[in-house]
Amino acid sequence: MKAIVFEDFGGPDVLHEAEVPLPEPGPGQARIRVKAAGVNPVDVKVRVGLMRPNLPASLPSVPGVEAGGLIDALGPDVSGFVLGDEVFGWTKGGAYSEFAIVTTFAAKPAELGWTHAVALPVAGETSERVLRLLELAPGETLLIHGAAGAVGTVAVQMAVARGATVIGTAGESNQKYVESLGAIPTLYGPGLVERVKALAPQGIDAVFDVAGKGALADSVTLRGGNSRIVTIADFAGSQEHGVPFSSGGPASPRSPEFLASLATLAAGGKLRTTIAAQFPFEEAADAQRRSEAGHAQGKIVLTMD
């Protein structure tokens, strides 16, 4: 089958198209003919070798952790699905490929397009996991750094649905977008502490750092300490400021049922996903360059004809 692979760690140019063996689904898994795959910051981190201590990539490696497509083969112990069903979920062994193995997956509603379906697994799981870790309650005020990105877009809406007031940081061009999600927008960068205090004179109850742009020091200042702050993007800052870095763990809601609930909300217009950019599979290197550039309004997606 066709796949995007890298055989050495490095920049986007190490990504190229190649023929690789067709994977076989194991117990509880399905093989799908891929229609779309999500592009995530973790894909870039794996490609450059930053994840080797925790997530060693065996080379050559196919990037990607989420995809959607039509079921092509079913492994043992899979019930409720038949060949040809449209599903989406988390992948094992890569997603930038003609076929992929999905390990935790759910049916894609007909009303939900492929690109929007693959915008749900990583962003939805990450948002729910961190909001659980923060123990966000109705009436509280949450500061989200990086509110316009794929995770930020979903996290804002989930927090608002919990009854929280959300202040979301973003660049100048994304201020109205963040406001449209239900948050109070503000610029990131110098003067952030003063801007947030003016918007929330009662104080900030919790902080979710999606961006990883060095905002943890300001977050600690605003919280008066490092309690109820979680980052998913600033490992060095988490060590320096004693802030938890979350990448999974017991708080994760990852399950077929959780995916199905996200799909139902999205299909019904109650959870908005935004596609920042869409690339054909053969332009995966350009897609990752776009991801590395940052400031994307929503999700970057690869599509396969």
Tens digits of residue pLDDT in 9-46: 999 999 999 999 999 999 999 999 999 999 999 999 89
User: Residue 60 carries which side chain, given as an amino acid letter?
Assistant: P
pLDDT score, position 50: 79
Calculate ∠ Cα 148-86-289, nearest 5°: 35
pLDDT score, position 296: 84
pLDDT score, position 59: 86
**How far is it, in rounded angstroms, from Cα 24 to Cα 303?**
22
The encoded tokens of residue 31 equal: 């093989």
Start-end of H helices in the chain: 41-48, 114-117, 121-134, 150-161, 175-180, 192-199, 216-223, 235-241, 256-267, 284-293
The encoded tokens of residue 201 equal: 């004179």
Q: Are 87 and 100 in contact (CB under 8 A)?
A: no
Task: Kindly give the parts of the chain with pLDDT less than 50.
Answer: none
Dihedral over Cα of 61, 62, 66, 72: its sign:
negative
**How far is it, in rounded angstroms, from Cα 165 to Cα 181?**
12
- DSSP strand pairing (141-145 vs 2-5): unpaired
**How far is it, in rounded angstroms, from Cα 39 to Cα 97?**
12
**How far is it, in rounded angstroms, from Cα 233 to Cα 217?**
14
pLDDT score, position 295: 79
Q: Which residue has the tokens 């959780």?
A: 258
